[in-house]
Amino acid sequence: MENLQQKTILFIRDVIISVAIVGIILAALWGYTGQFPHTPMVVVTSESMMHHNAPFGKIGTIDPGDLVLVKKVYSKNDVITRGNESHPMTKHRTYGDYGDVIIYYPMGNKKRTPIIHRAICWIEKNDGTYDVEEYGIHNAKEITIPQLHLYNYKPANSGFITKGDNNEYPDQLPNGGICPQPVKPKWIIGKARGELPWFGLIKLMIYGNDHGYEGDDAVKIGNAVAPKDEWICLGISLVIIIVLPSIWDAYNFFKNRKSKELRL
């Protein structure tokens, strides 16, 4: 009876410690991102931010199945834009290119899937004219930036022009774009800061990412599609985290059991 009580106490202690560790981690994530009570992380579902010259496992870039931390944005000044691709206006690099990557609701519609793309430039709408500092445009009646496939663009509001690193066209194409108008700061959920690669694939195996990746090395497991090397890295990580400790525990259990039998 006493042995059973000790085991029960040890079990309760382990549960409390586990819950406390999870609580501390969540508190740290919420404290850093400022997203409480909303989730501090998002799962990347598409290939729009991929860099095809990324190393094996694609660490450091944003790829299908990555878990990305989302740090709260309070104003447009919290976001650093990239500017001209050949002449960036900043030395600030994130995820393989210059400037910040933001997560936003297209046209501010919270019923739509959030987009995670890079902030390229800020368009300032004045009374009948526009300014785009990153491209040297001032007091223009319309915006033309050939590099971004924007011609005679007349947006209805100020905001960010955004684009996936793996996309040719920006999100703000007037006809058929993901988000026809520049992204207002109030539409932004946050900016990407840090990542946990591959582990979001576990969620996507259940919920899916239809057409999320269509490369030659695409592998589908469950409902998730991702590059082959990401699946390999996820498998290795799960073996290290789950399988090896379980084998070690089993080894110690049978070792102790054998020692007791020998003593008897």
Read off the pLDDT of residues 188-216 as tens digits, 9 standing for 90 and up.
999 999 999 999 999 999 999 988 999 99
Ranges of each domain in the chain: 1-33, 41-230
With 0-12 CB in 10 A as exposed, 13-18 as middle and 19+ as buried, what is 203? middle
Structure tokens at 30: 């919420």
Name the phi and psi angles at 55, rounded to 5.
-70, 175
Report the helix count and the strand count for the chain, using DSSP H and E: 4, 14
Q: Which residues contact 157 (CB under 8 A, 6 or more apart)?
A: 125, 181, 182, 184
Q: Are 181 and 156 in contact (CB under 8 A)?
A: yes
Could you tell me where the beta strands, DSSP code E, fall in 128-175?
Answer: 130-132, 137-140, 143-145, 150-153, 159-163
- The pTM of this model reads 0.87
In this structure, how many other beta carbons lie within 10 angstroms of the beta carbon of residue 136? 9
Task: Please give the pLDDT value at position 248.
Answer: 78
Task: Please give the pLDDT value at position 258.
Answer: 66
Can you tell me the distance from the alpha carbon of 30 to that of 149, in angstroms, rounded to the nearest whole number? 38
Task: Please give the pLDDT value at position 27.
Answer: 86
Task: Please give the pLDDT value at position 244.
Answer: 79
> Per residue of the chain (264 residues), what is the pLDDT tens digit?
556 677 677 678 777 877 888 788 878 888 888 888 888 999 999 999 999 889 999 999 999 999 999 999 999 999 999 999 999 999 999 999 999 999 999 999 999 999 999 999 999 999 999 999 999 999 999 999 999 999 999 999 999 999 999 999 999 998 888 999 999 999 999 999 999 999 999 999 999 998 899 999 999 999 999 999 999 999 999 999 888 777 877 777 677 766 666 665
Read off the pLDDT of residues 223-262 as tens digits, 9 standing for 90 and up.
999 999 999 999 999 999 888 777 877 777 677 766 666 6
Can you tell me the distance from the alpha carbon of 93 to that of 116, in angstroms, rounded to the nearest whole number? 16
Task: Please give the pLDDT value at position 7.
Answer: 65
Q: Are 120 and 106 in contact (CB under 8 A)?
A: no
Structure tokens at 97: 């290119």
